[in-house]
Amino acid sequence: MADLVLTDQNFKQEVLDSKTPVLVDFWAEWCMPCRIVSPIVEDLAKDYGEKLKVGKLNVDENGQTAQSYGIMSIPSLLVFKDGQVVKQMVGAQSKDNFKREIDSVL
């Protein structure tokens, strides 16, 4: 599910209205640490399977959504549950770290 591309247009439907929790990877083309995190996010998508929806949002193309969640550093990974942000993780971290943080809110 990591190939889910989120946009300003589909964000409400795919993330806010989602029945399952959603992990959103805020990224941009020019951000090196984002390229480090990207394969980790794909791994996480595989590991969590049905339990977690995983999507990527390009902050350059979807400034409105990025701004409304106060994104000022990328990569930022946010977990949404019932339309609310329940976890925000900033910067490149190990997969285990991300897992621990995600598990704490699932």
Partner 1 sequence: MYDVIIIGSGPSGLTAAIYNTRADLKTLVISGVKWGGQLMLTTAVENFPGFPEGIQGPDLMANMRKQAERFGAKFIDDDVTSLDASSRPFKVSVGDKIYEGKSVIIATGADTMWLNVPGEQEKIGRGVSSCAPCDAAFFRNKNVIVVGGGDSAMEEADVLSKFASSVRLLHRRDTFKASEIMQKRVLENEKITVIWNSEIEEVLGDQKVEKVKIKSKGTDNKRLRVHKPKAEGNDLLSVEELSGNILKENGEELEWEMPIDGIFVAIGHMPNSKIFKGIETDEKGFIKAGENYATNVEGIFVAGDVYDHEYKQAITAAGYGCAAALEVQKWLREQE
Q: Which is nearer to partner 1, 4 or 90 (CB)?
A: 90
Is 65 in the active site?
A: no
User: DSSP code of 19?
Assistant: S
Q: Which residues of 68-104 are buried (b: 16+ CB within 10 A; e: fewer)?
A: ebebeebbbbbbbeeeeeebebeeebeeeebbeebee
Annotated active-site residue in 2, 4, 28, 31: 31
Is 101 in the active site?
A: no
Nearest distance from C-beta of residue 57 to partner 1, angstroms:
14
Annotated active-site residue in 34, 57, 77, 102: 34
Q: Which is nearer to partner 1, 2 or 31 (CB)?
A: 31
Q: Which is nearer to partner 1, 45 or 71 (CB)?
A: 71
Q: Which residues of the shown chain bind partner 1 in the complex (CB under 8 A)? A: 28, 30-33, 36, 59-60, 70-74, 76, 88, 90-97
* Number of Cα atoms under 13 Å in the Cβ half of residue 20: 13
- Which among 78, 86, 77, 96 is positioned nearest to 31, based on CA atoms? 77
Catalytic residues: 31, 34
